[in-house]
Amino acid sequence: MSSTVTRTRLAIVAAAAGIAILAGCSSPAPAGKASAASCEPAKGKVTLQYWNTVPGMEKVVDLWNKKNPNIQVETKNISNDQYGIIGNALKAGKAPDLAQVGYDQLPNLRTQDAFVDASACSAATATKSKFVPWTWSQTSFGDTGVFALPQDTGPMALYVRSDIFKKYGVAVPKTWDEYAAAAKKLHKADSDLTITYFDPNNAEWFNGLLWQNNAEMYSYSDDKWHVTVESDQSKQVTEYWQKLISDKLVRTDLAHGSTQMYAAYQKDQIASYVGAAWGYSMFRDNLPRQAGKWTIVPMPTWGANGASGNWGGSTVAFMRGSKHLYESVKFNTWLNTDPEALALENELGGLYPAANAGLQLPALSKGVPYYNNEKIFDVFAASSKKVDTRFAWGPTQKTVNLALQDAMAKAAAGDGTLTDALAAAQAAALKSMKDQAIPAAAGK
């Protein structure tokens, strides 16, 4: 899921520089080879392949299949190695018709000519008004075509074990300074308890933290990329978390979504979770005995503007090689705009929809039983409105994330610092762009 983000219109720049998934500024589109494909309906029955990572998606697809006997869909869960499986399928010429792709991964796959432009289908271009505007800008690459349809977003918030905070008389923090103070109080009260964990192998989550602090990692001007991964705003974030790690106020031995992570929460060893909207179902489904003990509040803030972050969020992309574009558009549109489909996806998979209709779902305006019947989606809706629109994804984001994770893991083990990890990621960004002849320079 990625997915986790407010972006505005992208613009084409005639440079073979790859693409940015950009928030707020103009950016170049890639020198991709994908062109608008034919949109002729097939003669007879069609079977589409749709790969995704969403729990319960097979039930959503079953609903479609019952209503559409001539356009059947086979779904495959690839959550064990999403981009490895997609990449291998592309190389072998065996990609599915449709695949779930995170917003931050669109640039990398776009430079691999992974997608087909569905703009030949009027039904595809007509869906533009059905989605939150920034999500459409990402999938259309500045209205140069229609390469995917938005599926979900990941506005962030703070999940709090309110019973633990109450037990030790600690107020729920509203700022990051208050969060650090709460971390000290909780750990002092119980040496086995930490306020949260820091997963050094989760760059996507960390990017959400940077995003919240207006830490622009990339920008594009004067026909080149400007890489600012190690900006002052980024350093403020790394120095903050480095102190929590050094003072042993957060754990670094837990991987997000792992059995060990859930076990730590089950044993009341962790008191909060900094996560995205789609994470609400994780706790509900994996920690049923803690129903009524969790509350969700706004993400702690850095300043008076109350900015929030985004982690993850996904699209459903039209993949290169599909012979059934017309039918793919029909299914993709239904999957990501039909209220019945969106309701199931939210209920079973925890997706926070990108479609305007999805934000009006009755389930998103009601209290959630697991969270003490609180209207948790009001918190995420408010968070979504406070995400910095200038944040950009670079054209070699995967390489940068891997470098960041490698260096953060070393820092968590005592070899260097998180700020050193920013420098390593910056160097990786510049090198990867140079290797691909993408004009780039450090700084703005």
pLDDT in tens, 64-96: 999 999 999 999 999 988 888 999 999 999 999
Number of H helices, E strands in the chain: 16, 15
Collapsing DSSP states into helix, strand and coil, what is residue 282? helix
Predicted local confidence at residue 12, as pLDDT: 21
pLDDT in tens, 193-249: 999 999 999 999 999 999 999 998 988 888 888 999 999 999 999 999 999 999 999
The answer to whether 283 and 294 are in contact (CB under 8 A) is: yes
Distance CA 374, CA 351 (A): 18
Three-state SS for 52-101 is ECCCCHHHHHHHHHHHCCCEEEEEEECCCCHHHHHHHHHHCCCCCCEEEE
Chain centre to alpha carbon of residue 411: 24
Predicted local confidence at residue 219, as pLDDT: 83
- Residue 396: both structure tokens together: 């070699």
Predicted local confidence at residue 24, as pLDDT: 31
Which letter, b or e, does each residue of 109-125 get, where b requires 16 or more Cβ atoms within 10 Å of its Cβ? bbbeebbbbbbbbeebe
Q: What letter does residue 110 receive in the DSSP assignment?
A: H
Predicted local confidence at residue 105, as pLDDT: 86
Dump the DSSP string for 229-253: TT-HHHHHHHHHHHHHHHTT-EE-S
The answer to whether 317 and 392 are in contact (CB under 8 A) is: no
| Mean pLDDT per 10-residue segment, the chain (444 residues) | 31 26 36 59 96 96 98 95 91 96 85 90 94 80 83 95 98 97 98 98 96 89 90 97 98 97 98 95 95 98 88 94 96 97 91 89 92 95 83 83 97 97 96 91 87
Predicted local confidence at residue 289, as pLDDT: 96
Which stretches within 287-388 are classed as H helix? 325-337, 339-349, 376-384
Predicted local confidence at residue 1, as pLDDT: 45
Distance CA 385, CA 155 (A): 9
Q: What letter does residue 50 receive in the DSSP assignment?
A: E
Distance CA 114, CA 91 (A): 10
How many angstroms separate the Cα of 311 from the Cα of each of 2, 274, 339? Answer: 7, 10, 24
Distance CA 149, CA 355 (A): 10
